[in-house]
Structures are given as structure tokens and as C-alpha cells.
Structure 1
Amino acid sequence: MDYVATFLEIINENNEASVHFNFRLVHQDTGQSVFVSSLRNVFNEKTSFTCWGLPKFMKKSDLVTLGYLKDDCLEIECDLTVIKVGEIDVPPPDLVQNLGDLLESQVGVDVTFKVKEEAFQAHRILLATRLPVFMAELYGPLSDKRKRSIVVEDMAPRVFKALLHFVYKDRFPAMDDLDGSEYEEMGKHMLVAADRYGMERMKLMCESILCNRLSVETVAATLVLADQHHCSKLKDACIRFIDSSNRIDDVAASQGYENLKRACPVLTAELWEKSAKSRKL
């Protein structure tokens, strides 16, 4: 071979490291070293190689002439710097925390919502970003850009406060003070609010809450709610709950059944038809 090759190889498997290395040649007579080449590379399991270097480092004839190769001996110094990838801890995303702090601090608020006897302040641009309804109301072609106060009808203050909490923090507020039935009722009100303002993720989370709390006493009322607010997953869950173990007679004796008959007569007829068929089987 006419050339001398030099390579570095990573020995430990499944390791990842960023490597910076300099090659220096040592003169056989003087012992002085000179810089020749500098390389940088990342070794990891995704790459198809475990070594990296120069297949044509220098010609043998040049090394002999310059006094670096003598009696088949060549001395190379390597200055090596290894930075293990992952040693720098990156904190988790804090955007949601920052937005929540913005809501709590009330810094820069520019719109007020009046809900019954209570008032809630917020940021127009953030609301418009998160809620399609507010995008149209606050920034649409027919909107009043100078409007600073909005009256919210047909909603309890606690529900609107929970809606705002979700808008800024992408999660529900703590509701530890509510008992089981109150928690379920709050879930229904939040579902209505989510549907009203186009918060699809919040709406699905409310559906999940109500789905996990279905009972013979509540399923009829929940089914009506699901039908009215186009909650297909919750509606299917209610129907499966009624169909399972043939609960239709027990559901018919519940308080919410009369409302189910009035609000969803076709659906009620289908439930009885399915029940009759299952009994024949």
C-alpha cells in the first residue's frame, strides 16, 4: 500500500458519543510533533460504522522523506475529546406552565367575560387561537375589534372558569371538593361548554369521564346528552351499556327514561327492538 491509514474505533456497543480528534505526527529524531489533521464525528447505533478516520492519511514515501517513518516505525499522537450525547439534561416543555402562569397573573389581559355575577379576564389572541368560536367573534370580518366585554349566557361561572383553565393549561382544574354525582354533573356541563366553543379535545375528555361513570340510573340522561351534542363515542358506549346483560327494563324504570323517549324517540324504539331480538335468542 502506498498510504498509511489511521482510524478510531468505538469499543463499547450501544454507546453514543460526539468525538473530536486531532492527529499529530512525531518526528523520529527530534521527538517534536506537528499537526496533520482534525476530524469530528458522532458514533451511535444508528450509524452503519463503529470506526472513523482517514484511509489515506499520508503517503509512506512522504513519511520516510520527512523523517516520521523510520525502521517501519511510525508514532502518531491523537488529541481526543469525547462528549457523551445525552449528558446535557434538557428540561421538559414548559409552554403550558407559562400560559397557566399568564392566566393566574392576569398580565396583559384585554377582554372580560361576564358570567352571571362573576367576571373573568383573559387574553383575546390566546382565546382566538384555541377556540374557533372566539376567533370568529373577536377577529372575524363582522367582529368589533374594540369590544372589551362579553356577556356569557346560560353557563355557570364555575363551568366557564373550568373552560378557561383548560384553554390555558390543556387540562381540567382540580375538582376534589366534588362528590361522585357532582363530579359527573360537572362533566356534563363541561361537555356542553366544550361543544359550544368547539373544544374537541376537551369534549372527548368529558365523554371519557361520563363513559366511565355509566350506571342504570344515569345512562338514559347521558344518552340524551350525547345525542344532542353529537358525541358519537359516548352515544355508542351508552347503547352498548344498555344492550349488555339486557338492561333495558331497568333503564326504563329510571328517572331519565321519560326524557329519553321525548328527546330520542327513534333511538328508544331501536333499543327496544334490539332488546326484543336478544331475548328471542
Structure 2
Amino acid sequence: MPRHTTVSTCTAETEHGDHVFEIFDYSQHRGMGNGEYIRSGVFSVGGYDWAIRFYPDGFSGISKDYISVYLELLSKDTKVRASCDLRLVDQSTGLSASVTQEGPRTFDSGNSSRFSPNNGKFMNRSKLEASGYIHESNITEQLGNLLDSEEATDVTFCVGGETCAAHRVLLATRSPVFKAQLYGPMREAKEQLVIIEDMQPAVFRALLRFIYTDSFPDMDDLEGGANREMIRHLLVAADRYAVDRLKLVCQSILCKNIDVETVSDTLALAYQHNCDSLKDICLEFITGPNVLDAVVATEGFKNLKATCPSALVDALEKSMRPRKARRVYSSCA
């Protein structure tokens, strides 16, 4: 009998795509807080939607000295087999260099595998800022040096027995409160030495550092609780001097450090200084499942009852909303 030979082939259909995510004013994004990100526009490759996430202060605590960058699958209820190559473009030459590659592997929209890579340490921040990938002015570094050198300062602050020298025009540019104090009809406008009441010297120095450089001083030597307390004091200082960006950054950091022991104090702070987003997150935490009883047992909750009863009213209303919704639903069934 004749012998027949058959042949079949399997060819994988692939589609390639490139997306350029250009980030302007990198220094303005730095300081958003660990875990905070900006996202690129949505782009489509292979019939699926994707985006790039950029974390200027790192994705998590272990990557706080790095920037974190991820490709994210946005299409819902799907699995896609794909590869990705995340690259940086040298601003002086226009040439790109691969930083991390991954795949081919399966992206599942239903779990964390929708992100690539699985490592948050994309590039050390110091290395990035010293490279040609960022084309920015070093003015913040120069202003920080100006603050440290005290060269050409024209006002001195006395805070808790310590003195800090600064430049009136720079403070007035960044803070409307300082502008009113140092250039308006107030007594401080005519004096070379200004007394600052009710503020710790370290907090005031950190406030000045942020005003000059748009960044925090190094707080690595502070323990977790002391670090959190410094951020709270800085939020109060930012509100006092209307340094809005510092206030937002402090809120972002506190939002990520809420627990049973601290939430009441943080909630009281949010009410006292009109921090709506921080307030909402604290209320959401308190009214979560199996949390309220533990919060009520803390010393912070007792202080909250005494100093900010309106917070308790809001928490009670928030906890009752789901119950009301369920009653309405059952009555219509």
C-alpha cells in the first residue's frame, strides 16, 4: 500500500508594540510617598489594554531607595502570554537601554501576575538621578546648599532655644503665611530675629528643608514610631504655614501607616487640620470588619472622644450606611 506523509505546522501569532511614557518635572513627583504612583496613558498591544506604572519613591519599604516601574495588564477577565522589555532613554543621546526584561510568561488580570516585573527595585534612585536618563536642573540641590551655608541670609528664627537662618524672599515665595509675616505689616517684617512658638526645632528645620528643596531631610535614624510622629508634626507645620504640597505628602505617608493603635490619633489630626482624604481613610479603617472593638479599647480612642466627638458621629454614620442599604433592599424584594 502506498505510504502517505502528512505535515502540519504550528505558528504562534505575535504582535509587537512600543509605548513611550515621558515624565516631565521628575523632581515634582519625587516625594509623593512610598507606594504612590503615576500611570501612563492606556495603550493597546495584541488587542489587550496595557499601562505603565511609575513609583518615584518605590513600590514598598524594601524598595524605598529605588524607583519602581511596572507594565500592567488592564484588560479584565483575561490571560495573556507576553514578554516585556522596560527601557530608559538617555536624554542626551536619544538611545535607549534595557533595564529589565521578562517573559514570555502569562499575565493574569485576576492576580498580581498582571504586573511585570516581580521586582520593585527597577533602578537605584541615586544612580538614576546621576545618569543621563534625567535631564533636570540641580536647583534644589543648590538651594539646599544655600540653606546649609547660611550665605546671604536676612532673617533668623529662634525655635525652642535654637536658631535657624534663612532667606525671606524664598520663604515668601513658597508660603503665603511667611510672605505675610516677613513682608506685610506684621511685627516680624521689621525684625531680624523671629520667635517661633509651639514647634520643635527639628520640625522647623525639616519644614525649611522642604521649602528649599521640596524633599524631606534624612530620617533613617528615627525609629518607626518616632518617624511617624515627625510626619505628624510636619503636617501641622505645613498647615500652619500653608505649604500645601508638604501637607499632601505627609497625608500620603500617614495613610500608609494606619493601624489599630494609631488610627484614632491620626483621625483627630485629620479633623483638626482639614485633611479630608486622610480623614476618609481613617474612617474606612475604623468601620472595617472586626476593627472597631479593638480601636475602642485604645487610649487614643478615649482622647478622640474628648477632643473630636464629631469624628465619632461620622464613624457611626459610616458604619450604619451598609445596614440601611441592606434593609431597603430586603423590603423591596
TM range, normalised to the smaller chain? 0.5 to 0.7
SS at match of 1:256: helix
1:188 aligns with 2:188: no
Contact 1:130–1:167 under 8 Å retained in 2: yes
**3-state SS of paired residue (2:236):** helix
Task: Give the structure 1 partner of residue 298 of structure 2.
Answer: 254
Q: Which AA in structure 2 matches 1:159?
A: V
Q: 2:207 — aligned with what? A: 163
Distance of aligned partners of 1:87 and 1:249 in 2 relative to their CA distance in 1, 3 Å threshold: closer
Question: Offset at 1:264?
Answer: 2.2
Asked if 1:101 is matched to 2:149, the reply is no
Instruction: Look up the equivalent residue of 2:235 and give its one-letter code.
Output: L
Tell me if structure 1 keeps the 8 A contact 2:140–2:213. Answer: yes
Distance 1:102 1:197 in 2: 21
Aligned residues of 2:183 and 2:189 also touching (Cα < 8 A):
yes
Following superposition, the deviation at residue 242 of structure 1 comes to 1.2
Equivalent position of 2:180 in the other structure: 136
The answer to whether 1:271 aligns with 2:315 is yes
Q: CA deviation at 1:276?
A: 5.1
Question: Once the 2 structures are TM-superposed, how far is the Cα of residue 91 of structure 1 from its aligned partner?
Answer: 4.6
2:216 corresponds in structure 1 to 172
Given the superposition, is the C-alpha separation of residues 255 and 156 from structure 1 closer, same or farther in structure 2, using an over 3 Å criterion?
same
Report the CA distance between 1:277 and its aligned residue: 5.7
Q: Which residue, out of 218, 232, 239, partners 2:262?
A: 218
8 Å CA contact retained: 2:267, 2:311: no
Q: 2:154·2:166 contact (CA, 8 Å) conserved in 1?
A: yes
Cα offset for 1:112? 0.5
For structure 1, list consecutive stretches of 5 or more residues without a partner in the other structure: 1-84
| Contact 1:136-1:143 at 8 Å conserved across structures | no
For residue 229 of structure 1, what is the aligned residue in structure 2? Answer: 273
CA deviation after TM superposition for structure 1 residue 147, in Å: 1.3
User: What is the rounded CA distance, in whole Å, between the counterparts of 1:241 and 1:150 in structure 2?
Assistant: 41
Three-state SS of the structure 2 residue aligned to 1:245 is coil
Distance in 1 (CA, whole Å) between partners of 2:279 and 2:157 is 32
The alignment partner of 1:121 has SS state of strand
Shift of 1:243: 1.9
Which of structure 1's runs of 4+ aligned residues deviate more than 4 A? Answer: 85-91, 142-145, 276-281
* Cα distance change of structure 1 residues 278 and 122 upon mapping to structure 2, 3 Å threshold: same
Work out whether residues 265 and 304 of structure 2, in 8 Å CA contact, stay in contact via their aligned partners in 1: yes
Find the aligned partners of 1:159 and 1:248 in 2 and give their Cα distance: 32
Superposition deviation, residue 262 in structure 1: 1.8
Q: Look up the match of 1:241.
A: 285
Deviation at 1:144, TM superposition (A): 5.6
Within 1, Cα distance between the matches of 2:154 and 2:166? 6
Q: How far apart, CA to CA, are the structure 1 residues paired with 2:202 and 2:163?
A: 11
Distance 1:86 1:179, change over 3 A: closer
**RMSD value over aligned CA atoms?**
2.2
Alpha-carbon deviation of 1:259?
A: 1.4
Q: What does the per-residue CA deviation read over 1:143-183, in whole Å, with 9 as the maximum and x for residues that have no partner?
A: 56441000000000000010011011100101011111111
- Secondary structure, counterpart of 1:223 in structure 2: helix
- Identity, in percent, stands at 49
Higher relative contact order (CA 8 A, sep 6+): 1
Task: Find the counterpart in structure 2 of residue 121 from structure 1.
Answer: 165
Partner of residue 244 from structure 2, selected from 182, 190, 200: 200
In structure 2, C-alpha distance between the alignment counterparts of 1:267 and 1:91, rounded to whole Å = 46
Cα distance per residue 1:95-122 (max 9 Å; x no partner):
1111111111111011100001210000
SS at structure 2 position matched to 1:201: helix
Contact 1:223–1:234 (CA under 8 A) maintained in structure 2: yes
**Counterparts of 1:144 and 1:226 in 2: how far apart (Å)?**
30
- Aligned counterparts of 1:245 and 1:132: Cα–Cα separation in 2: 43
